[in-house]
Structures are given as C-alpha cells and as structure tokens.
Amino acid sequence: MKPKTFIVENKRRSANYKPNIWSYDYIESLTSKYTEAAYQRQIEKLKTEFAHIFDQARGVNKLRLIESINNLCLSSLFEKEIKGTLDALQFDVDGLEGLKDDLEATALYFKLLRQHSYDVSQDIFINFIDNKGAFKESLRTNIRGVLQLYEASHLAIQEENIMNEAKDFSKESLRNLDLDMDVSISKQVIDALEHPLHWTAQWFRVRRQIDAYEHQVDRNPILLELAKLNFNVVQAIHQRELQELSRWWRNLGLMHEINFSRDRLIESFLCTTGVAFEPHYACLRKCLTKVICFTLIIDDLYDIYGSLEELDCFTRAMYRWNSKEIEHLPKSMKLCFSALQDTMNEVAQAIHKEQCWNGILSFVEKAWADVCKAFLLEARWFNEGFTPSLEEYLKSAWISSTCPLISLITHLIEEEGPYEELLDKLEQKKNLIYYSSLIFKLWNDLSTSDVELERGDAPSSIFCYMREANVSEDTARGHIRGLIINAWNNINKELIERFSKHQRSANLIISAARVSHFLYCNGDGIGVQDCQTKQLIQNLLIEPVAISYNDHINGI
C-alpha cells in the first residue's frame, strides 16, 4: 500500500515573521578583553574589600547594602554574608534602629526577607495604618518609602489585606508623583511601575541598576566597580557560549528548509540568561537555548503551518519518538522531527555528563509529547472554530506554554541528590511549575492576542473570557492581569511554606515567569526583533559597561 500523502501547500498560512536580523558571522565575531584571568583576580580582590565593609555595617545600612548587592546581580558572590545577616534579623526586628517609624526601612526589611523566602508577617506595617484601615495619607510624600512599599507588595500571598492595600496605595501614590522633581528617583519609579523587581528577571535589569547605583549619593565605590567588572566578565562568558551555539545552529542548517517559523537563536539565548546568568549555569543555558529554539519552530508548525491531519500524525510520532510515523509528511516536518531527535540526544548526553544520570531521554521525550498534545488540541479548536471556556483553555495553555518542558530540563540539570528522588522532587515543584507556566502564557496572550486573532489563530485567554463572560476586551484584559497577580501570590506562598531551604532550585523554576514579564509586557519580544528586545540584547550580550580606571582597576 502506498503511503498517504497530504497535499495542502496552497492552503498553508503565514505569520509573516521577519528574517533574523542577527547574522551568524556577526555573533561569531564578538570579542571581549574581559576573558583575561586578570579581571577575575580583580573581582576576587574587590569582593574581599567589600566583604569587610559589609561586615562593619549595622542596622538599616546593612539592609541597604544587601538590596544593592541583589540589584547589581552580585548575590552569588556574597551568599553566605547575606544569609547570615537575614537569619539574624528574622528574629530581631527591634534591633533595627528606627524601623517601626520608618516606612522605607520597614518595607525594605519585609521585602528582603520575603525575597529570600523568610516568613515575615504583614503586621509589620500596622504602625503605618490609620484608624480606618488605610495607609496614612501623610506617607504619600515619602517617595522612597512608598517606592519600597510598592516593591514589597509584590511579595504578598493570598488574603493578605494589608499588602493588597499597600499595593493600591503605593501604585496610586507613585503614578501621581511629579516626576520632574528628581531625575534619579523618577527613573526608579518609572522602572518599578513597569517592571516590579520581584516579577522581572534580575539580569534583564542589571544595566539600569548599575546606572541608577552610580548616581546614588550614598553609593559605595568598591561595590560599584565590582558590579561593573563582574557584569563585563559575565557578559564575556555569555558571548563565548552564544558563539558556540551559533555554530551549532548554523551547522544544523534547519532554517534553510523551514521558512514558516521564527529564527531566533540570540533571543532564545537571551531568555536563558534571564533564567540563570551566573557562570556556573553554562550547561543549563546551552541546553535551554537548544530547547527554546525548537519550541518556537514546533509552536509555529502547529499554529500556522501543518494541517490538522498532518499535526495529528506528527503528534503520534512524538509520543512514539519514531520517525517512521512521519515518512509521508512534508520535508520540513520530517527535518524538524529528525533535528529535534538529534538535539534532544545531545541535551540528554550533556545532562548525563553534568549529573552522571542515565535514562534522562525518556523524561524529555514524554515532556515533548505532552507539549505537542496541547498544541494539537489548540489546533483542533482553531480548525473547528471552537472557543473553549477560560478554565478549559487554561488546562491546556499552561502545558502549551512549554514552561513545563523547560522546567524539566532545568530540574534535570540542576537538581541535586540521588537519581531515585528525581521524580519526587519534581512533584514537589508541580505548583511552582504550574503557576509559572500560567504567568508565562497569560503574559504572552496579553501581548500577542490581537495579532493572532487578526490572522485567525486559536482563541487566546482574553477572547475565551470575553466570549464566556460577555465582557469587553478591556475588562477581559483586566481579569487576565488579575489571574497573573493571583498566580504570583500562590508562588510567594509556595516559596515561604515549601522552599525556604531550597530557594535556588525554586527560583530557577519560577524564572520563566520573570522572563515572560519583560519579554511580553510591551509587545511580542520574541516574534518582533526591532522592539525592546533588540536593545536588551545590545546591552546584555554585546556592549560592555564603561569602566573608569581608578585605583581599584589599575594594575590589570
């Protein structure tokens, strides 16, 4: 019997994605002097000098130094010092001079402890509440205090009424400020309203934070030089990794045969720096970049290229991980499947080399099959003109976000302990994975739903809720933003109740939610390359921070 052939070429849709703007030659030509060992030695010298300063600091001043360390992405250099300080402060609120009467200090204390998964009560803010249960109106002029309160409010858990009031009060106060009064503080306010720290990948904001810290009156010059030098050294490491990935992607040659999908290697790598930027996460970044490149292609394959019959066949092949199932499919789909198999074998080998675990590929195969099953369901909805309820949509959407797949790779590479405990530890993270995936998908919908609806894609969460609740688009968007806030509240609760001793592992899992906030809050940061993502790539992957060669840098 002849194999069945599908003839649908004249019916194929297009998303009209623009060609990749970053050439392989350009990426592979990047150079940096900060690969030299002398710069790493200087980092160690500055680290030692600042550690002494940190040790001498007391009270609120020490909290401010911790905040600066966090904002400048230097936490991994001072992990023990920060933990020791917060462990002591958790049980010694009264030890911070003036804390109870200082909104800025109180909010900073609350924010830092919650950021590091300590259980601190919202009642710490009662002193700033009037007899009507609202924050005192006199606080509105305390700009730095209100700004800290706003950032702290994003670490709330469900049903914390004081923190909900804090968010409303601080947001309204900041939006009504006269931002012409102080250029430095106005930039911080604008950034905070657009990208709250707890919701945003740290590395994506590091250049802005370095610039802001440089203009602080109370800046520490050693910490500033350390932040600049560390950024440039880490950037040089990222450049080398990106060049290796560029050669892999170029040699794969897949995009020469696939013209319907997004060719976004550098954007994919950028996302991984938002997940984990530190040098010791090199294996994770390289594996995740390969996975993300393929999620974009396969997402586009289901969204715009394949017929329902072809996609059904492709999904069966994914479940069986067998290329014989797709012999009669178009060349592009066969090449995609074959390249995916080869690449996932590479990823499994890299994980084995990192962790000495066997049998990893079976986990990866199942995760890909689950993603494709969710993609197929959404393709069916499109083909049948069916609009699901929001609840039904979300049951599939959190999986089709591809975050569970990305979380699995992260878990396999970075989890510690016996192989036999792998699945149990993954199960413990299921809520973090679910809520992070939900946030990623909902931010994506808020950004791309109009374009996708215009070209006739499957309905987004916004359209599903509009149809179900019979409300306007603005109302639906407000509801979706509310779901994002609720998801973050649930994440915050998980971090405090279940991951106070495993913060690093938990933060890696929820990092996808933080990446999505920046990528999608002002448009499609992946599909459209000439938006804010292009500038972010320039800032983080290409252009080093300018360093004045003062006494700390002389001698290199």
pLDDT 10s digits, 300-320: 999 989 999 999 999 999 999
The pLDDT assigned to 3 comes to 45
90 confidence band (pLDDT: 50, 70, 90): confident
The pLDDT assigned to 7 comes to 45
Instruction: State which amino acid sits at residue 354.
Output: E
pLDDT greater than 70 at residue 97: no
Burial track 218-243 (b if 16+ CB lie within 10 A, e otherwise) = eebebbbbbbbbbbbbbbbbbbebbb
Residue 46: half-sphere exposure toward Cβ, Cα within 13 Å: 26
The pLDDT assigned to 393 comes to 97
Least confident of 16-25, 47-56, 346-355: 16-25
**pLDDT single digits (tens) 387-432:** 999 999 999 999 999 999 999 999 999 988 788 888 899 999 999 9
The pLDDT assigned to 324 comes to 87
**Long-range contacts, 36-43 (Cβ 8 Å, 24+):** 36/556, 38/556, 39/229, 39/232, 39/233, 39/556, 40/233, 42/229, 42/552, 42/553, 42/555, 42/556, 43/77, 43/226, 43/229, 43/230, 43/233
Range 253-542: architecture per CATH? Orthogonal Bundle (1.10)
Q: What CA–CA distance (Å, rounded) separates 236 from 33? A: 8
Least confident of 211-220, 448-457, 534-543: 448-457
Mean pLDDT of the chain: 90
3-state secondary structure of 169: helix
374 confidence band (pLDDT: 50, 70, 90): very high
Q: CA separation (Å) from 425 to 225, 365, 505?
A: 39, 19, 10
The pLDDT assigned to 317 comes to 95
pTM above 0.75, yes or no: yes
Any idea where the domains of the chain sit in the sequence? Answer: 37-226, 253-542
> Would you say domain 37-226 falls under CATH 3.40.190.10?
no
Q: Determine contact, residues 556/39, Cβ cutoff 8 Å.
A: yes
133 by Cβ neighbours in 10 Å (0-12 / 13-18 / 19+) ranks as exposed
Span 277-296, average pLDDT: 97
Dmax (CA) for the chain in angstroms is 84
Q: Determine contact, residues 295/371, Cβ cutoff 8 Å.
A: yes
**pLDDT single digits (tens) 129-182:** 999 989 999 999 999 999 999 999 999 999 899 999 999 999 999 999 876 667
The pLDDT assigned to 149 comes to 98
State the virtual CA torsion across 404, 405, 408, 414 in degrees, nearest 10. -110
CA angle 178, 184, 190 (to 5 degrees): 60
3-state secondary structure of 129: strand
pLDDT greater than 50 at residue 271: yes
Instruction: Give percent above pLDDT 90 in the chain.
Output: 74
The pLDDT assigned to 1 comes to 40
